[in-house]
Structures are given as C-alpha cells and as structure tokens.
Structure 1
Amino acid sequence: MAEKGCIYKEKYEVPGKGKQIICQPCLSKDKQTIAEKFCSTCDEFQCLECSNVHNTHAFLRSHVLVNANEAKTKQSSFDMKGLDQCYQHQEVLKFFCEDENLLCCSTCAIVDHRKCQSVVEIQKVVERKTYRGSTLKNKLQEMRQKANIIVDSIVSSKAKLDEDITEMPIKIKRMRDEVIKMFDELEISVVKHVEMFQNETLKKLTMKQSQTKKYLADIATCLETIDNVYQNGSLVQQFIVEQKMKNDVNVLHTNVGAECHDLETVTVTFDFDETLKLPPLPITDYVPGQLSVKFCLSETAKVIAPVNKAMRTTLVNSIDLKQKRSKEKEPLYAGIDFLPDGRLVAVDNKNEKCLVYNERLKKVGSYQLSYPPQSVVAVSEDEVAITSGGALKLDILRVNKSNDITLDRTIKVTTKYYSICHKDDKYFVGETNNHSSPVRIISSTGKEKDFNINFPSKSYSVTTNAYTYIRNSDKVVLTDRSEHTVCIYDVKTNTRVVVKDDQIKDPCGVAVGPYDTILVCSNETDCIVQISQTGQILSSYKIDMIFPKKICVSRDRSFLAITNAGEGEMKLQKFKISH
C-alpha cells in the first residue's frame, strides 16, 4: 500500500502503545480521528464512520476492509507527480468509467458518472486484464524509431543533395569532352568517306568527259565532210555522202543523247539531326539537356508507401435502366455513390429522383425531388448530399437502414455547384457553374473558399470537365474532354501533371480508386482507364457499355459502379476490384 495510506501523529501517541494511525478522509477535513479500518482498494486508512460509506454505495461494497493494525505499510516506489490526482477535484483517481473511457475520483463517480452503467474500481480493471507491457511505451518506442529514421534520412538526403550538386558541373564537363571527342571522330570519319567518294566520282566524270570529247571530234569530222561536199560536190556526190554517213550520224546521235540524258551534278552536304540544331539563342536560353529536381521516397519509406498496382475487375451485376412505365422518362443517372454499408445511391436527372440500390443492384428506395439533381455523395453512414446545378444550395438527405429517404437539412451557398465530393470530415469540394475557378472548397455550414491553385486561364464547363479530390495526398484531378487530357494538381506545391494518352478519349467521370489511383471513364473508347498520381497508365478495361459517364468506388476500395449516357442503352453495372 502507498505511503500516503499510513498517517502517524506522534502527539497522539498513548504512552506504552505504538504509533496511532489517523483517518485520512477526516484529516483532509482538519479532523484527527483514529483509523480503525484500511481499504486496500481505496488505499486509505479510515475511521469507523468513514468506512461505513462502503455499506452505503453499491459500487463500494466489493471493497475489502481490514483492521488498521493488521495492515502493513510500505514506501511508494514511484512519485506520480500528480498524475494520480483528479484535475477537477484534486482527489485520488480510484475508478474507471468504461462507458466514457474516463478515470474518476470518488466525487466524479458519484456526481458526474452516476448515470453510467459501468463505473469500476481501477484495481479491479487492472486485476482482470493481462498486461504484456505498456502499450504507450511500445507506441513511443515505435515513434522514436520512426523519428530516428526521419533524422537519418534527412542527413542522408542532405549529403546526397550536396553530392548531386557537386557532381553536376563535373558531369557537364565530362559530357562536353565526350561531345568534342565525338565531333573529332565524326570529322575524321566524314572526311575519309568523302575523299573515297570524291576519287570514285572524279574517275567516272573523267571517263565521261574523255568519251564526250571523242564524240565532239567525230562530229567535227562529219560536219567538215558534209560542208565540203555541199560546197564543191555534185548532187550525186551529195546524195552518196548523205547515204554513207547516215548510219554514223545516227550512232553519234544516240550516244550523245544517252550521255546527255545521264548528265548529273554531284554535290556533297552534311547536315546535323534536328535534335542537334541549336536555335540562334544564348546557351542559357537553350539547355542541351534536362535539369530534374524531384523528391522521392527513401528505401525505408518505400516499405510503407502505397504501391501503384494495376487492378483487375470482375462484373458482379448489370441492370438495364430502360423506361418501364409510360409516365417516366428514360432515366439519366447524373451521379452515383456508395454508402459505407455497400448500398448504392443514384440521382436520376430526368425523373428528378434519388434512388437506393442494395448490394445486388435491386432498387429498394426512392425519393421524389423538386428539381433535376446533378450529383450525389455519401456524407456519413446514413446521409447523402445532392446538388441541383442551378440553385444556391446543397440538400442533405437521410437514408435509414429501412431505405426510407427524408430531407434532413439544406446548406445555403453563394455559388452554383454541379457536383461535389468529400475533401475531409468537415469540407466538400464542389465543381462550380459559371465561376472563375473550376472547383471550390465548401464547409458543412456553407462557407466557401478557393483552392491555392493557379488553374489555367480558360473557360471551364461542366459539359467538358469532370473532377475528383484525392484526400490522402491533397490533389485535385480535373479532366478536359475537348483536349482528351487528365490534369492532376498538387495543392501543396501548386504544380500539375498532365496525362494525355491514346487510351483516354473524351474523359468524363473520374473517381479515386485502390491505392489512391485515378479511374477515368473514356467515353469514346468505352473503357475505364487506371492512372497513377504521377501520370502513369496502369491499366485499361473495355466494358460492355457505350459512353460510360459516371463512376464511383466503395469506401473499402473493393467495388466500383459505372453508369452511362447511351440513349436507349442505359445501364448500371457493379464490379469487384482485385489486385
């Protein structure tokens, strides 16, 4: 028992008797009463009057009382330094409320926790639990290990940074020397080949020139003979010469014509590839290389870092959303989302309804709205938020376990929103309508603000853009249907990654998939494309659905649902996700 449990007062000693033990509760009231009992649970010496409290309150009756003179005192081996004191009443903490998971003193137990079902002595809680060591100690040791890893990693990172920066000019000089050597070797090789070509070409041209000069001599002889006979000869002689020289002239004509036809001009040029051509700019404006500055996970951190894995999908169920009743229009599901328990909520834009489907995609609930809904997102276990696009509000509907849907409350806003998704427990991210920023942050009370992102200055439209938010990495994903791109904006660094690939055509719906990867509906290719946050295409899946438009993923990332906008061929499909 603790030291405070044994109170001696020498001035109350009776001659011939041992030291008297004083009642602790009385002593706290400035009364000196001889203790008759000791409660091991309360860890107090008490007089008869104070110990009778154990018979008054039911939760004290299990305490074990012994005579004070039978109790042995011992020195406390640890100074609690006030940790065992109630902050409110400055009394010793003796009880534990299991309902509220709180430590209590006697006053707390009687006054503040009298309605609780389970207020137990701390001693009993300790006795019925088997401790294999302090959980807090284990957690602190684990945190200390991780903190040491962080410090070691930072030291290593600094050293690596210094090494990389020191190596950079050396690498550039080495590359310069290698480039100069390459050009020296190139010059020798080109000159050698050019000289060989020149010798061969000159030989051919010389032969052609000699042959042509012989033809010129033969032509001159023939012309001289013809001129003489036409000047001095008779008609008979002229006729004979014409006939005799006709064959020779025809041969000369053919040979000279052939040589003239094969006449060519020989030139030699040497051009660099386009990649080696430098524009007329200073070298500081054109760097023949790429400087990369990046942050990457250390080998230690990679063990616990998310891995970009290609997912696999298996079709679980598929239903046709055809018009079944003449009074209803063909449905168009403008938004879908999973409730935490696996049910699926959808909003029908054409028929102005909110619908609930069970795990087998059987319709189990319906609620008539007064406006065409634009999107839906699960807010909690039994709440969903719906946007209208044209009104300055967000409606919160309650969906109970019996699939009854009621309007719970309305959040007033100052901006028109087409679709929303969760940012965290207190905020939404909303896709705007006719606003300077494509997305904004909305609190649960309706307060709005912009992201700290420099979005490109362009016209954003809900017909050409879709978005989602990655909570764990604080990133906004925005698609551009006209550009066939997916842009991943990092809010912390105000940077972006632009993804453009032949597998992504007319990207519509987008959602956060397993391992925080990005799932995009490729409208023109009827595919679902999986992208990493760094822009890598991880997988692509052809689905039995034309014009997939909306996609959502369950909270545990084990299922996804897709719906489309194919007139006359509307479908809702559910897939199982595996890795």
Structure 2
Amino acid sequence: MATGKLLESNRDNAGDFIGECSVTQSCEPCMKTNVSTTAMFFCNKCNEFLCDACKNPHTVYKTGRHDIVNIQERQSVPVGVDMKGMDICPEHGKELEFFCQDHTKFCCSKCVLIHRKCDQVDEIANASGQERPKIQAFQQSMIKLQSKADAIIADCKQSETGLTESVAKISSEVYKMRDRIVQLFEEAKKKLITDAEQFQRAEVKCFRIKSEASFKIKEEMYKVLPICQAVLEHGTPSQQYIYSKILQDKHNAWESNINEHTNLKMSSTVTVSFPRELSTLLKMGNDFIKLNCDSNNPGIINIA
C-alpha cells in the first residue's frame, strides 16, 4: 500500500506515488458556495486558487498585499496527500492494511493478529474501491453545512443587534407615560430596565454560544476540506477508504450540531406593554409595566 511522506503542496501538479499527471484545480471561493469552477490564477500571498471572476474581488475585498499569477506560471512540484498520520497504526507505527468489521477498527500487519478469529477482516487494498463517492458526498455536505454555519452566525449577529436596539427603545417608550405616572415612574423604570438587561444578557450569551459553536464547526470543516479534496484527487484507494471511515463520524457530529443550532429559535426583540385602563395604574404599584419576550431556551425565564 502506497503512502509515503507526501508533500504539503498537495494542490500543485504531478505526483510521486500517483504518477505524473495534470491536476485541474477548482476555485476555492466558488467551492465555498458549492460551485465547481476551474481556477486560472493563484495568489502566492494567500495560498489560494482563483477563477477569473473571483480574481478581482479577491484583491479588492481581502486585506493585505497580493501576488496573483497564472497557474501555468507556477513551478510544477510533486503532489500527494498527507494523511496527517491517519493511515499509520498509532500502536505499532506501521501502515494500516486491514479493517476489522467486527470491532470497527483499523489494523496494521501486527495488530491484525489479534483479530485473526474475527469473522470479517477486510484487506484495505482490496476493499477500498467504493469509498470515493462517499467522500464526495461528505465533501458536498460539508460545503452545505458551512453555508448553514454562516447563516447561523449571521442570524445570531442580527438577532443580537435587534435585541440591543429594541432594549434601547424601551426607555423612550416608557418616557411617554412619565408625565402621568411621575411618582411611580423611576421605580418602575428601574425594575423594567433591570429585567430587560437581565433577559438581554442571558439571550446574548445564548447567541454567542450558538455562534461560537457554529464558527468552531466551520473552522474544523475548513481545515478538513483541503485534505478531503486532496484525498479525492490524489489519494490512493486505501487512503480514500481510511479517510472515508474517519470522516463519517466527524461529518455526522457536525451535521447533528448544525441542525440542532438551526432548529433552535431565540428571541431577538423585546417590547413594552401598558395597561389599557390607566385609571387602575396607581393600584398596580411598580409592576404596571410588562416586558414581553419570547424564548425557548432552557434556563431563560419569560418576564411578565
């Protein structure tokens, strides 16, 4: 089984264990929107492949200096896939050659002896031909999950802004009633603002936890996608088989978390209610103003 010490420049042309070949690169910004476009340029400063449409926006909207060249002008170097040690047995330091279906475990030539009595131990070299479609599916799904993560982050930011703005409007709404309830105004206002800010702090905390969790998932997938692309384009069938098995659990966890965050609704506004019968206002004491909020987050209490 071919592995080798694969070079970090796994985007470039040619290869040491897959033979000399011409590799077609995809535009990386387009890939983030689930669009496959052939890259024509490469930014040496940002280490990013670009198509003709993305070249100018890259220099305009991405900060820093750029050194963009045609792909044909880049020096051809050996290419391969660095599996980051995932195809090496952690116990014996040998290449993984088998997969025990009974224990769902990879084995090298040494640890496979422990599984000699298992019913099904597959040789990776013979069993790894069907994994490429799975990796492609995972790759496409991760791109979509990244888009969902972006939507969650944007939604959290918008919700936080909306909540802050709505809380800021509370004072002006309350002041409209000030002339008629001067005696109780300050006490009621303090109570209301305290409740609103308490609710805001709790909600903002949830926004940020939700946003940070989605951002972390997005970062993890951003690190995985280049390896995924490299395995698809240059990986041996054995590497594709190993990477598919490893990627499956990661993908399921990411998808579960993203869907959970997507379905979790949070309140982004609060309003103030005044009683219709002002004649009973004085009898209500400092509870005459109500803070209306809507939240389905555990641990968040609706103040009414």
Greater relative contact order, per chain length (Cα 8 Å cut-off, separation 6+): 2
- Larger fraction in strand: 1
For the aligned pair, the TM-score class normalised by the smaller chain equals 0.3 to 0.5
Q: TM-score, normalised by structure 2?
A: 0.37
Q: TM-score, normalised by structure 1?
A: 0.21
